[in-house]
Amino acid sequence: MDTAFSNEDLKFQSEIRDFIKANYPQELRDSINSKRKLGKELSREDLTAWHKILGKHNGWSAPSWPKQYGGAEFTPTQKYIFEQECAKAECQYIMPFGINMVGPVIYTFGNEEQKAQHLPGILSGEVFWCQGYSEPGSGSDLASLKTSAVKEGDHYVVNGQKTWTTMAQYADWIFCLVRTNPDAEKPQQGISFLLIDMKTPGVTVRPIKLMDGSHEVNETWFDNVKVPVENLIGQENMGWTYAKFLLAHERSGIAGVARSKKAIERIKQIASSEMSYGEPLIQDPAFKAKIAAAELELSALEYTELRTLAKDSAGKGPGPESSLLKIKGTDIQQAVTELAMEAVGYYANPHLGTTLSNEYVGPDYATNLSGTYFNFRKASIYGGSNEIQRNIIAKMVLGL
Amino acid sequence: MNFDYTEEQTLLDNMVTSFVRDNYDWDARCNIVKSEEGWKEENWKQFAELGLLGVPFDEAYGGLGGKSADLMIVMEQFGKGLVVEPYLPTVILAGGLISKLGSEKQKNSIIPEIISGNVRCAFAYAEPQSRFDLNDVKTSAVINGDDYVLNGFKSVVFGAGMASHIIISARTEGEQRSESGITLFIVDTKSEGLTLQNYPTIDEYRASEVIIENLKVSKDNVLGKVNMAYDAIEEIVDISTIAACSEAVGILQVLKDSTTEYCKNRKQFGQSIAKNQVIQHRLVDMMIEYEQAKSILYMAVTADLSNSDERRKVVSAAKARIGKAIKFVGESAIQLHGGMGVVDEYMVSHYFKRATMIGVLFGNTDYHMKRYTTLTQSGISSTDEAISVSVT
């Protein structure tokens, strides 16, 4: 057992630090901070600028990808260090849909043409991807999806509706699970994995506003959308296999440990400024205990993640234990957003950034903390709700 | 970064695992805990033969020079078997103090005897009023010629009844709660002035109340410097806390696995109760708690324990978090076993009781939560930096 940084790791750590310092644009930091504070939507440029910078540097935009596809192929330790440093420096996170989701599916199951067409754009951040999985009638029961793809000559004709498509408003491409065989014995057997250009006629995106007023997710409609058969990944009706691969493949960072750590640090700063009973809130025993409880949970989770990474690097694969990272990681994210909101007392109330108010009120650190709390209720629901994750562990790990 | 055992550690793990499998089946354990002595000398001899009694000691005295990770391996397997022999009191607690503070003469005379299995020791530190505070010492030691004379009372001293020597903390100077002014004395258990009131504990271990009346101890039997024992006591109790946490993690694994098996086999309403989602999710939450407990134990074991701020922080983090896991996994195991959970005859209640008492040992969850909070929220050490140095 050895968890000390080697000299090489330390060198790598300072290389990352230096790179971020020299290359993370101040304008980007300012732009994102001011929008966050007013609860305003981030632009496509805000979301991809850092990705594009990393994409030009040794494949750092894709820490897990093999070098042969242009990735950085970091060791688990390096990935861990990279995430830590990016979180510490509060870098904008890289959208997962291209890098963590469809990219690995394409280089694992796609053909040479598909790799050549799509991987460079994903790596560079020039092409923006979104995910077409959920449907209005298919949430946790994903395999019940109905969006149909009927082969007609050299095209599939796609009809149906996807929902919760995150950032579809900016997307160039969508990867979709579609039903190609409605008569298959089991619902999982008739599903295929299609790549669809969002500019194809018949694709319509409509925004869904979340309870904090934010616009992250959308409904995506398909009305007789013609998709070339070349855009099918792997074999027809084998899409469920690729979908599962995608869900289990990239779990590094799913727990969000580094970002939650940074968030707790911030809460401590806020609680040192806020007063309660004439003393800084940080001295309040009840509040202190809640912070400590979150820290302990996070420390344990950090080592659970490291154990998973170590197993991963030994070629043992992450497997369904990664559901544990999702459950605990989102539990902590929610606890942390709640603590932050709690810390600012009355200043949880102002809802800025609407058409009715465009000015700051209250302390700088307080803006939009309640928005974030309300927004993060999503975390235990998305990516397979935490109840579904428990079902997965029950079945796959405990054999129930 | 790796969490794999070295070759030597794998051998150690296999050795302790085989010992528990071959010598500690349920019936064998029941006979031991029901016996007058409450432990089995033959097992102790086997520990000596296997080299287990030398794990943490310096090679210069015949030990194996093991670290917390090695003790973790031993204690985790002992936890799985609910091994009652006084390994923690003798080897880790008392042995740790002797290694840390002993003179060459003391170390040369006692450590080889511990390793060979001839000597068992206990450490008497708690007092009726002290609760978990190691600095709260009323037992007094007053110098009288070449001797000290000790008077006082020590509570719940584990393994004292099977020990040939007891290490006693006593106040040689200062106020009752002052950290300075505490001195350690090594005393023969049969000394005049020392009375042991032995009893079994709820989890079937053995402990004693130790009454000290005009106990004469020669200056030669002072362990370490006079008045200066506190730091070493805190350190060795911290190391022992990690060992206790390791034992708890072994126990939690048994509770989680055996409860999962029980639920698969137990049929009600015509099907296995594990088919009910409400049961499945409880079992999953037990597994998550177990994994989190194991993870935070790994954090403590792999931390830089030679840095005392870091050591205090990770030990309290682990003890507090594992205490929470003990409560959830233990109570869930009993609940899911239904009626079988509450009977004495079935194993699960015994594992639950031991885990719960480990929860109290060396300070409970609230106690360590407070210590952790004091350390991390008063600027002594920044979580962030501490973790980044100790981890890859």
Question: Can you give the pLDDT at residue B382?
Answer: 40
In angstroms, how far is CA B195 from the centroid of its own chain?
24
Residue with tokens 């600028």: A49
Question: Can you give the pLDDT at residue A128?
Answer: 98
In angstroms, how far is CA B140 from the centroid of its own chain?
26
Question: Can you give the pLDDT at residue A251?
Answer: 56
Residues 345-384 of B with CB under 8 A from A: 369, 372-373, 376-377, 383-384
What does the DSSP 8-state code read for residue B93? I
Tell me how many residue pairs between chain A and chain B have CB atoms under 8 A apart: 149
Distance CA A260, CA A335 (A): 10
Distance CA B257, CA B264 (A): 11
- Taking CA–CA distances from A12, the nearest residue in chain B reads B392
- Taking CA–CA distances from B366, the nearest residue in chain A reads A289
Domain B7-119 falls in which CATH fold?
A: Butyryl-Coa Dehydrogenase, subunit A; domain 1 (1.10.540)
Task: Sort residue B112 into left (φ over 0), alpha (ψ -120 to 50) or beta.
Answer: alpha
CATH number of A251-396: 1.20.140.10
What are the phi and psi torsion angles at B326 (to 5°)?
-60, -45
Task: Sort residue A161 into left (φ over 0), alpha (ψ -120 to 50) or beta.
Answer: beta
Q: Are B215 and B196 in contact (CB under 8 A)?
A: no
Domain A129-242 falls in which CATH fold?
A: Butyryl-CoA Dehydrogenase, subunit A; domain 2 (2.40.110)
Distance, in angstroms, between B202 CA and closest chain A CA?
29
Distance CA A107, CA A13 (A): 28
Distance CA B203, CA B40 (A): 17
- B277 close contact with A: CB closer than 8 A: yes
Angle at A9 between CA A93 and CA A333, to 5 degrees: 35
What does the DSSP 8-state code read for residue A200? S
Q: Are B280 and A390 in contact (CB under 8 A)?
A: yes
Would you kindly state where each structural domain of chain A is located, as residue ranges? Answer: 7-94, 129-242, 251-396
Nearest CA-CA partner of B358 in B251, B234, B237? B251
Distance CA A308, CA A302 (A): 10
DSSP-derived pairing of the beta strands B165-171 and B121-124? parallel
Q: Which residues pair with B216 in a beta bridge?
A: B149
Nearest CA-CA partner of B160 in B121, B103, B214, B114? B121
Distance, in angstroms, between B298 CA and closest chain A CA?
7
Nearest CA-CA partner of B289 in B241, B252, B242, B331? B252
Please report which confidence band the pLDDT of residue B387 belongs to, taking 50, 70 and 90 as the band edges. Answer: very low
Residue B6 in this model has a pLDDT that exceeds 60: yes
Distance CA A303, CA B2 (A): 11
What does the DSSP 8-state code read for residue B6? P
Residue with tokens 């616009």: A215
Written in H, E and C, the secondary structure of A40-90 is CCCCHHHHHHHHHHHHCCCCCCCCCCCHHHCCCCCCHHHHHHHHHHHHHCC
**Contact residues, chain B, for A302 at CB < 8 Å:** 295, 299, 387, 391
Q: Compute the radius of gyration of chain A from its Cα atoms.
A: 22
- B3 close contact with A: CB closer than 8 A: yes
Report the complex ipTM. 0.86
Domain B122-228 falls in which CATH fold?
A: Butyryl-CoA Dehydrogenase, subunit A; domain 2 (2.40.110)
Distance CA A353, CA A36 (A): 9
Nearest CA-CA partner of B158 in B382, B361, B325? B361
Would you kindly state where each structural domain of chain B is located, as residue ranges? Answer: 7-119, 122-228, 231-390
**Contact residues, chain A, for B273 at CB < 8 Å:** none
pLDDT (tens digit per residue) in B82-110: 999 999 999 999 999 999 999 999 999 99
Q: How many CB atoms lie within 10 A of CB A99?
A: 24
Q: Is B283 close to A289, i.e. CB distance below 8 A?
A: no
User: What does B109-160 look like in DSSP terms, one character per residue?
Assistant: HHHHHHHTTS--EEEE---TTTTT-TT----EEEEETTEEEEEEEEEEEETG
- B320 close contact with A: CB closer than 8 A: yes
Distance CA B296, CA B290 (A): 10
Residue B386 in this model has a pLDDT that exceeds 60: no
What pTM does this model have? 0.90
- B285 close contact with A: CB closer than 8 A: yes
pLDDT (tens digit per residue) in B259-269: 999 999 999 99
Q: Is A2 close to B1, i.e. CB distance below 8 A?
A: yes
- Upper half-sphere CA count for residue B326 (Cβ side, 13 Å): 29
**B332 is written with which tokens?**
């869930």
Distance CA A193, CA B85 (A): 60
Q: Would you write out chain A's pLDDT as a tens digit for each of its 400 residues?
A: 888 888 999 999 999 999 999 999 999 999 998 888 777 889 999 999 999 999 999 999 999 999 999 999 998 889 889 999 999 999 999 999 999 999 999 999 999 999 999 999 999 999 999 999 999 999 888 999 999 999 999 999 999 999 999 999 999 999 999 999 999 999 999 999 999 999 999 999 999 999 988 899 999 999 999 999 999 999 999 999 999 888 766 555 678 999 999 999 999 999 999 999 999 999 999 999 999 999 999 999 999 988 888 877 666 655 677 899 999 999 999 999 999 999 999 999 988 777 777 677 889 899 889 999 999 999 999 888 999 999 999 999 999 9
Q: Is B284 close to A390, i.e. CB distance below 8 A?
A: yes
Residues 23-82 of B with CB under 8 A from A: 69
Mutate to test the interface with B, among A279, A284, A297, A303 (most CBs of B within 10 A): A303
| CB burial string A180-196: b at 16+ within 10 A, e below | beeeeeebbebbbbbbb
- Upper half-sphere CA count for residue A89 (Cβ side, 13 Å): 24
Helix, strand, coil share of chain B (percent; to 5) = 55, 15, 25
Question: Can you give the pLDDT at residue A171?
Answer: 98
Domain A7-94 falls in which CATH fold?
A: Butyryl-Coa Dehydrogenase, subunit A; domain 1 (1.10.540)
Query: Homologous superfamily of B231-390 in CATH?
Result: Butyryl-CoA Dehydrogenase, subunit A, domain 3 (1.20.140.10)
Tell me the mean pLDDT in the region B64-83.
97
pLDDT (tens digit per residue) in B325-347: 999 999 999 999 999 999 999 99
- Taking CA–CA distances from B8, the nearest residue in chain A reads A1
For residue A83, give the amino acid letter.
E
Instruction: Please list, in sequence order, all residues whose beta carbon lies within 8 angstroms of the beta carbon of residue A262, skipping any fewer than 6 positions away.
Output: A87, A88, A90
Angle at B331 between CA B329 and CA B334, to 5 degrees: 105
